[in-house]
Amino acid sequence: MAGRVDLDGNPINPMTICMIGAGGFIGSHLCEKLMSETQHTVLAVDVYSDKIKHLLEPTSLPWNGRIQFHRINIKNDSRLEGLIKMADLTVNLAAICTPADYNTRPLDTIYSNFIDALPVVKYCSENGKRLIHFSTCEVYGKTIGAFLPEDSPLRQDPAYFLLSEDASPCIFGPIEKQRWSYACAKQLIERLIYAEGAENGLEFTIVRPFNWIGPRMDFIPGIDGPSEGVPRVLACFSNNLLRHEPLKLVDGGHSQRTFIYIKDAIEAVSLMIENPARANGHIFNVGNPNNEVTVKQLAEMMTQVYSKVSGETPLETPTVDVSSKEFYGEGYDDSDKRIPDMTIINRQLGWNPKTSLWDLLESTLTYQHRTYAEAVKQAMSKTTTN
Ligand SMILES: NC(=O)c1ccc[n+]([C@@H]2O[C@H](COP(=O)([O-])OP(=O)(O)OC[C@H]3O[C@@H](n4cnc5c(N)ncnc54)[C@H](O)[C@@H]3O)[C@@H](O)[C@H]2O)c1
């Protein structure tokens, strides 16, 4: 840890980071990295701390004193400004960010992703503090290629599907497709942050994650989350595998996604934190263009990997089709394909993802099996005996 330097060879001084949403999936991995590999201090703000409690206790942990948990709901807590003032940098991760909520709880989604982020941006701007704000790859919406005829050769041309921070348009569906409430709220907060930078000199970085996955993502319904809850695709499929039931493919699972291992992605965020001169004023795609699959292919790969790590024989019919209306309700829509252009992050931070989809699924499903298999088995035997 001694003598750590940034990408330009300058020594990295310890800083205080106000991390909002630190108790979530990404926050927990970022806190872990900052505690084990740096001397920075984290003021961790969230309403939940379960995913970081291994970093908070016991007091004999080597980083004791460098991480403090503040149970604060940023919607209505006057302590937020004080924490931002105490910090050198604020990282804002707080959001409702589960697709099942976008069309069923559009008001909560818009408030969480736009209104609740406003004071964070304002306090950073007014107090001259740097901000790293988490947006989403969903701001791109659909690709231009999606509007071309199925057999058009232009669909193969990267200009029609590659998503670039400084060139691609943001293409959303009609207002009645409430699925776009999340993407639209994230887009507007990006525009506000950008304008604060341009007009008031806010030092900012915007992160657009492309399907970061790994241990501690979301929850397993009925085990460490609500039984009726619908988490993001990774946890939905893990839940089906743990229960030995077919994986549900929404509208055939034809959407294409690029998945990146959380640990690779966190490496990129840590470079942003420690290289402000290279990161300020930029929007960064953070994804792995080499790990593109359809959701159907993801289901097949997860089935195969889960069988390997659990020793269980896969079902004869491992997947079942459901309509998006049945699964998500009215107002659902989706982006067709999401491949990140990596030019800007590569140029500014020299960063590239490393982990293949097979490897990241193996480490994630090993964790899921170790953490949940017994609890799921017990819960299922209780339901059948009742
Ligand atoms: N994981 C991904 O692949 C992905 C993709 C696109 C965008 N993002 C963005 O990254 C950020 C973090 O995502 P994540 O996957 O860690 O999600 P997460 O749901 O695991 O974490 C979000 C955390 O924010 C907290 N939070 C929400 N509202 C709050 C409030 N009012 N006050 C205090 N805390 C609050 C939640 O309790 C939760 O712990 C989000 O902004 C999300 O939109 C993530």
State how far the Cα of 263 lies from the Cα of 354, in Å rounded to an integer: 10
Atom of ligand 1 nearest to the CA of 212: 3
* Contact between residue 202 and residue 276 where contact means Cβ atoms under 8 Å apart: no
What distance in angstroms lies between residue 220's CA and the mean position of ligand 1's atoms? Answer: 17
pLDDT of residue 208: 98
Is residue 94 within 6 Å of ligand 1 at its C-beta?
Answer: yes
Our answer to whether residue 48 is catalytic in this structure is no
Query: In Å, how far from its chain's centre is CA 280?
Result: 21
pLDDT of residue 254: 95
pLDDT averages per 10-residue partition of the chain, 386 residues = 88 98 98 98 98 96 97 96 98 96 96 98 98 98 95 94 97 96 98 98 98 96 93 96 96 96 98 98 98 97 98 96 94 93 98 98 97 94 73
pLDDT of residue 382: 81
Is residue 134 within 6 Å of ligand 1 at its C-beta?
Answer: yes
Is residue 287 within 6 Å of ligand 1 at its C-beta?
Answer: no
For residue 355, give every residue at least 6 positions away whose Cβ sits within 8 Å of its Cβ, in sequence order, or none. Answer: 260, 261, 263, 264, 288
Residue 213: Cβ within 10 Å count: 23
Pocket test of ligand 1: the residue of 97, 116, 138, 189 to mutate, having most ligand atoms within 8 Å of its CB, is: 97
Is residue 197 within 6 Å of ligand 1 at its C-beta?
Answer: no
pLDDT of residue 2: 61
Nearest CA residue ID for atom 43, ligand 1: 97
pLDDT of residue 386: 61
Residue 119: Cβ within 10 Å count: 16
What distance in angstroms lies between residue 84's CA and the mean position of ligand 1's atoms? Answer: 18
**What is the helix (H) or strand (E) element at residue 45, kind and residue range?**
strand 41-46
Is residue 209 within 6 Å of ligand 1 at its C-beta?
Answer: yes
pLDDT of residue 179: 94
> Which two tokens mark 374?
């017994």
> Which two tokens mark 80?
């937020």
For residue 256, give every residue at least 6 positions away whose Cβ sits within 8 Å of its Cβ, in sequence order, or none. Answer: 292, 293, 294, 295, 336, 337, 338, 339
**DSSP helix/strand/coil, 328:** helix
Query: In Å, how far from its chain's centre is CA 234?
Result: 12
Domain 95-380: top CATH class: alpha beta
What distance in angstroms lies between residue 382's CA and the mean position of ligand 1's atoms? Answer: 32
Structural domain spans, the chain: 95-380
Is residue 19 within 6 Å of ligand 1 at its C-beta?
Answer: no
The one catalytic residue in 123, 140, 182, 372 is: 182
Range 272-305 burial, b when 16+ CB lie within 10 A, else e: bbbbbebbbbbbbbbbbbebbbbbbebbbbbbeb
